[in-house]
DNA sequence: AAATCGGGGGC
DNA sequence: GCCCCAGATTT
């Protein structure tokens, strides 16, 4: 069997990562949320900053959502940050600040799905449950040369059921070993089978078919969208607003923009109406291309000046100095626009 | 079952 | 350019 061989390989070869220094449920949880769809190298700095700012779940429960988003800015998938805050509140108020130690109880918490519940239950609490992420889907499909489509959610469920009886007593080591192997050796392209501790047990490898697995079908085609965005000055401040719920990047601060309106005249008219301002003729200050998961924005930037500072009676619209802007949670696309439009490096 | 939701890194 | 990443949630 490959299970113990793999665990031993992990004990000897695991990377030294900040969240592996102890098994505190708070640390494991925070790292697992950050690692969702995010590479280890990207996560490390954010994890360190969070632990410094919020050393305990109490400190996180006592923070505001804005505080959390501010620290999360640039990491993406901002719903994770909002659910992180909600989860901390639930654990603090309803569980006395103590994380549940059972898979099914963890699964009920905001932002914790089947993978993360399995990861926390096994790594922090030694529960013998699997944790099937993208790495494990790939590794397991290769080990047994399975043609299941790993893009289909039913496959993850099926793999969890097949893995459950294999999970050893040291479940946390086992689950992390599978993921570590997927990240370091059994990679999506060019797997390093010659370095793999369990290649002898791998059906895909022994069949000479390691490149045939895993099978993955769907690919999403991104939609292109042109955006007219205004950098609207009044004296030394510029107009920004907090994106409302139900919109992309909600909860983060944005510059005013209009989809499908990239002509100066039309954009100025629409922005003036949206924010009830009188605007000077705009000056084109460049374009920014930004790729989201399912969208590609082609942002045309224009600088305007507002004749007066009256703001519409709407919450979360402000005039901000560049210093004040720096204190807000901004998405990466807005930072790129500010860098290009006013040479402001945040 | 399909769509939504960021940003960065590797090739 | 494409693919993937220690996925969850909503429709």
Q: What is the pLDDT of residues A61-111, one digit of tens each?
A: 999 999 999 999 999 999 999 999 999 999 999 999 999 999 999 999 999
Q: Which residues, other chains included, contact A36 with Cβ-Cβ below 8 Å and sequence gap of 6+?
A: A77, A80, A115, A116
Q: How far is CA A64 from the centre of its chain?
A: 19
On average, the pLDDT of chain A sits at 95
| pLDDT tens-digit series, residues A107-143 | 999 999 999 999 999 999 999 999 999 999 999 999 9
Cβ of A119 near strand C (distance < 7 A)? yes
pLDDT above 80 for A1: yes
What torsion, rounded to 10 degrees, do the Cα atoms A147, A151, A153, A154 define?
A: -20
Q: Residues A12, A32, A305, A316: which is the catalytic one?
A: A32
| pLDDT tens-digit series, residues A155-179 | 999 999 999 999 999 999 999 999 9
Q: Is the pTM of this model over 0.85?
A: yes
pLDDT above 90 for A226: yes
Are A292 and A221 in contact, with CB atoms under 8 Å apart? no
**To which residue do tokens 């390691």 refer?**
A210
Query: Among A91-100, A226-235, A303-312, which stretch is predicted with the lowest mean pLDDT?
Result: A303-312
pLDDT of residue A153: 92
Cβ of A43 near strand B (distance < 7 A)? no
- SS3 for A160-196 is HHHHHHHCCCCHHHHHHHHHHHHHHCCCCCCCCHHHC
pLDDT above 80 for A314: no
Using a 7 Å cut-off to protein CB atoms, list the covered nucleotides of chain B.
Answer: 1-11
pLDDT of residue A105: 98
Q: What percent of chain A has pLDDT over 90?
A: 92
Measured distance CA(A183)–CA(A43) in Å, rounded: 14
Confidence of residue A31 (pLDDT cuts 50, 70, 90): very high
The Å distance, CA of A189 to C1' of B11, is 9
Tokens of A333: 């696309």
Query: Among A47-51, A105-109, A230-234, A307-311, which stretch is predicted with the lowest mean pLDDT?
Result: A307-311
Q: Is A32 tagged catalytic?
A: yes
Cβ of A145 near strand C (distance < 7 A)? no
| pLDDT tens-digit series, residues A233-282 | 999 999 999 999 999 999 999 999 999 999 999 999 999 999 999 999 99
Measured distance CA(A264)–CA(A303) in Å, rounded: 10
pLDDT of residue A163: 98
Residue nearest to nucleotide B9 (CA to C1'): A39
A28-40: b or e for each residue (b if 16 or more CB lie within 10 Å)? bbbbbbbbeeeeb
Are A60 and A85 in contact, with CB atoms under 8 Å apart? yes
In A192-282 the beta strands, taken as DSSP E runs, fall at 223-234, 237-242, 253-254, 257-259
pLDDT average, residue stretch A46-52: 98
pLDDT of residue A343: 84
Confidence of residue A20 (pLDDT cuts 50, 70, 90): very high
pLDDT average, residue stretch A170-194: 96
Are A184 and A178 in contact, with CB atoms under 8 Å apart? no
């Amino acid at each position: 069997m490959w299970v113990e061989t793999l665990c031993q390989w992990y004990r000897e070869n695991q990377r030294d990562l900040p969240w592996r220094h102890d098994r505190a449920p708070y640390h494991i949880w925070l790292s697992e949320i950050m690692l969702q769809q995010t590479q280890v190298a990207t996560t490390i700095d954010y994890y360190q900053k969070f632990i410094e700012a919020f050393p305990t779940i109490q400190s996180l429960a006592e923070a505001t959502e804005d505080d959390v988003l501010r620290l999360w800015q640039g990491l993406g998938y901002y719903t994770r940050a909002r659910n992180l805050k909600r989860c901390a509140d639930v654990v603090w108020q309803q569980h006395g600040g103590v994380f549940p130690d059972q898979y099914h109880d963890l699964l009920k918490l905001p932002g914790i799905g089947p993978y993360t519940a399995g990861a926390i239950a096994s790594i922090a609490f030694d529960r013998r449950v699997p944790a099937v992420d993208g790495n494990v889907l790939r590794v397991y499909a290769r080990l047994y040369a399975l043609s299941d489509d790993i893009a289909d959610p039913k496959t993850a469920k099926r793999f969890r059921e097949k893995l459950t009886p294999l999970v050893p007593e040291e479940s946390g080591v086992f689950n992390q070993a599978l993921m570590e192997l997927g990240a370091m050796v059994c990679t999506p392209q060019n797997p390093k089978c010659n370095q793999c501790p369990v290649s002898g047990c791998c059906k895909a490898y022994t069949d000479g078919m390691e490149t045939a697995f895993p099978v993955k079908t769907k690919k999403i085609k991104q939609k292109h969208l042109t955006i007219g965005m205004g950098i609207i000055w009044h004296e030394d401040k510029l107009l920004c607003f907090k994106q409302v719920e139900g919109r992309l990047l909600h909860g983060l601060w944005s510059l005013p923009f209009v989809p499908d309106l990239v002509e100066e005249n039309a954009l100025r008219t629409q922005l003036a109406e949206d924010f009830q301002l009188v605007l000077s003729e705009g000056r084109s200050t460049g374009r920014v291309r930004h790729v989201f998961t399912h969208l590609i924005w082609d942002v045309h930037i224009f600088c305007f000046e507002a004749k007066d500072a009256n703001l519409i009676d709407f919450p979360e619209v402000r005039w901000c100095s560049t210093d004040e802007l720096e204190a807000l949670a901004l998405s990466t696309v807005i930072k790129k626009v500010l860098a290009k439009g006013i040479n402001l490096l945040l």
